[in-house]
Structure 1
Amino acid sequence: MHDASCAVAHGDAPEPRDEPKTLVAIFASPVSAQLLRYALDLGYRTVLVEPDPTRTDPHAAETVSTLDAAGLDDNTDVVVCDHHRAEIGTLLRDTLAAKTRWIGLMGNPRHEGPHIKPLRDLGVPDEEIARVHRPIGLNIGSRTPAEIAIATLAGLIADRNTRPGGFAF
């Protein structure tokens, strides 16, 4: 009997699926820096969308100022990494209008999302607003940017593999 997990551990696993996948982080932040850094190791094409030209991130394969330049498609996961920016409404509206696989926004789930009012003010219907995942990532008690990035990427991997995440197999 062949055990795929053992093959991975011993370096005998077949090459991973060669599916195109892109991670777009909206807004430069300590979390976006970790997300983009770790996503490269997971085979993502990484893009930072940052309207402010003074904010950059060396871990992004590309940094662009608009969503149009990010090349969103149905293999793209989008994570909004700062919920205090004035551009959040228009950028999320445009992300929702594009074809993406997944959209998430950092934030405390005990409060109404800071994206809801700006999106409603822009006329985005509630069923579209509901497509924005919040909170992001697996519930592992993340407190640091690196932990949030790991939890987020683990959640994206679980979602891509149609798994719930956690230790249930």
Structure 2
Amino acid sequence: MTTSDPACATAQGDLLPDRGPRTLVAVFETPVAEHLIRFAADLGYRTVLVEPQPRLLAGTPKPHGDQTVASIATAGLDEHTDVVVTDHNRPELGAMLRDALDAKARWIGVMGAKHHTAPHVGALKELGVDDAAIARVHRPIGLNIGSRTPAEIALATLAGLIADRNRRPGGFAF
């Protein structure tokens, strides 16, 4: 049965989803990044893992996305790219965010609880980034679903990105 509602037709398999070009860049190898990459691939994103310390990629095979690179500069960011920094304690935080801001990524966010200090602000100021650019960095990120596990955090983050792309508030408000 074909319906005139594109969302219903897509859900029933009668219409291929129109995802448009989109890339998810997960910065730093973490358990949340692993889930972000896995889930984002299922959602139709091209996925990139940025990990400047190659030793962290060694060991047990993990999902590293369509591409693994050592820097934001080589990740291929553009206006269709969403950047999620998955560790706010890494010394490379400021440089990674500065480079993402310079590349004009569509959306940039740093994981971290709202009640903790936002270390990215100081790191970016030390690098000479202006307040308007710093304000483009989202924190906290994702929908507020009470996430506790890496998979739940990744799910909430991707749901928030999809809501933002579709200009929706997220949650159960329609």
Query: TM-score category by the smaller chain?
Result: over 0.9
**Number of equivalenced pairs:** 168
**Is 1:137 matched with 2:138?**
no
- Tell me whether 146-155 or 110-119 shows the greater mean CA deviation: 110-119
The aligned runs of 1:58-137 (5 Å cut-off) are 58-137=63-142
| Moved >3 Å (runs of 4+) | 1-6
> Aligned partners of 1:100 and 1:76: how far apart in 2?
5
Alpha-carbon RMSD: 1.4
Rounded to whole Å, the distance in 1 between the matches of 2:12 and 2:94 is 47
Deviations 1:84-126 (A, max 9, x none): 1000011111111112100000001112211111111111111
Distance 1:4 1:19 in 2: 15
Question: Partner of 2:27 in structure 1?
Answer: 26
Share of identical aligned residues, percent? 64
Q: Distance in 2 between matches of 1:71 and 1:5?
A: 30
* Structure 1 SS opposite 2:119: coil
Task: Say which SS state the counterpart of residue 40 (structure 1) adopts.
Answer: helix
Taking structure 2 as the reference length, what is the TM-score of the superposition? 0.91
1:152 matched residue in structure 2: 157
Does 1:164 find its partner at 2:149?
no
Aligned partners of 1:33 and 1:72: how far apart in 2?
A: 19
**Structure 2 gap segments, 5+ residues each:** none
Describe the superposition over 1:63-91 as per-residue Cα deviations: whole angstroms up to 9, x where unpaired. Answer: 00011210000000000001110000111
Return the offset for 1:10: 2.8
Q: CA contact under 8 A between 2:10 and 2:16: conserved in structure 1?
A: no
Decide whether aligned partners of structure 1 residues 6 and 72 sit closer, same or farther in structure 2, where only a CA change above 3 A counts: closer
